[in-house]
Amino acid sequence: MWIFLNDRFVRKKDALISVFDHGFLYGDGVYETLRAYGGRIFRLRQHLARLSRSASLIGLDIPFVEQDFITVLREAMKRNDLSDAYLRITISRGEGNIGLDPRLCPYPTVVVISLPLQPYPVELFNTGVSLALVNVRRNLAAALPPMIKSLNFLNNILAKQEASRAGGFDGLMLNGEGHIAECTTSNIFFVKDGCVYTPSVACGILDGITRETVLSLAREQALPTEEGRYRPDALLEADECFLTNTTMEIMPVQDIDKRPIGKERPGPVTDRLRELFRANLPRFLE
């Protein structure tokens, strides 16, 4: 397996970084997860733009322009002979002495990992997944803006652990005000009386690229949509619920804390959106 490290492709065994890398010491860095279908990358520009935004929000200068990443991503898939791929770009602050000051790290560390995509089991898409409403709250946006897709994932990891203990596939986090925020690596939607609802970005969530794609597909079809602030009760009374992210696309939710959502799973609107997503996929690939 070939890994891109800073300025070249190296074998996995040689893809090593320093124990003084601030990504390792402090979780100081940013990343993106992308997905390729048949060698073509889903919403490539949007992912690279979000990477650049994350880096800029932490004052990290990326030594690459957009086209450099595109070249590396394509080369990574070619070298590893990948068609349906999981792609991850990680940029850490780089190596530096102990201390929080980013000026200790003159050169960021850039890593691109490309792996065969491990799709979620088909049964999950047929039955839907179980969520646990966790006690861990989504980071306060004023403390660590969720708009930064950072290497610092402990907030989400604590939520994931809590969900696993409760027997959930994933944990649903509320924000500091008790409104629904998002799951540990996905955005959440619910459907009530034909309207598609999702927490607004102002709830302190990552503005998922799949979320935005689903919203725009729904709007193109004149399906009613609403972004807002919702309490968990609204979700528990919903007809349908689903999650979105780059690797899972649209995943139906069966129950939350063992309370079933709706009667049919997946529900008709979720099914329709999944069909729309698949049918329109080619125009989102590059």
Give residues in contact with ligand PDD (CB under 6 A): 33, 156, 182, 185-187, 206, 208-211, 244-247
> 244: helix, coil or strand?
strand
Least distance in angstroms from the C-beta of 263 to ligand PDD: 27
Closer of 244 and 254 to ligand PDD (Cβ)? 244
Q: Rounded to whole angstroms, how far apart are CA atoms 2 and 79?
A: 7
- Minimum CB separation from ligand PDD for residue 50, in Å? 7
To the nearest whole angstrom, how small is the minimum distance from the Cβ of residue 189 to ligand PDD?
12
Beta strands in 211-248 (DSSP E): 225-228, 240-245
Length of the chain: 286
Q: What's the CA gap between 23 and 35, in Å, rounded?
A: 23
Phi, psi of 10 (to 5 degrees): -130, 160
For residue 114, what are the contacts with CB-CB under 8 A and spacing of at least 6?
2, 73, 76, 77, 80, 82, 85, 86, 87, 88
In this complex, which beta carbon is closest to ligand PDD, that of residue 109 or of residue 156? 156
Question: Of 21 and 182, which CB lies nearer to ligand PDD in the complex structure?
Answer: 182
Q: Is 119 in a helix, a strand, or coil?
A: coil
CB of 18 or CB of 40, closer to ligand PDD: 40
Q: Hey, CA dihedral for 214, 215, 216, 221, is it positive or negative? A: positive
Residue 8, SS3 per DSSP: strand
Shortest Å, Cβ 182 to ligand PDD: 5
Q: CA angle 13-16-17, nearest 5°?
A: 175
- In angstroms, what is the minimal distance from the CB of 13 to ligand PDD? 24
Residue 18 or 53 with smaller CB distance to ligand PDD: 53
| CA distances for 197 relative to 209, 218, 220, angstroms | 16, 11, 16
Compute the least distance from the CB of residue 96 to ligand PDD, in Å.
25
Kindly tell me the sign of the dihedral angle through the C-alpha atoms of 80, 83, 84, 85: positive
- 3-class secondary-structure state, position 37: strand
Separation CA 6–CA 209 (nearest Å)? 26
- Give 32's strand partners: 89
Task: Indicate the SS3 state at residue 280.
Answer: helix
The one catalytic residue among 149, 160, 192, 258: 149
**Residue placing its CB nearer to ligand PDD in the complex, 105 or 181:** 181
Active-site annotation holds for 12: no
Kindly list the catalytic residues. 149
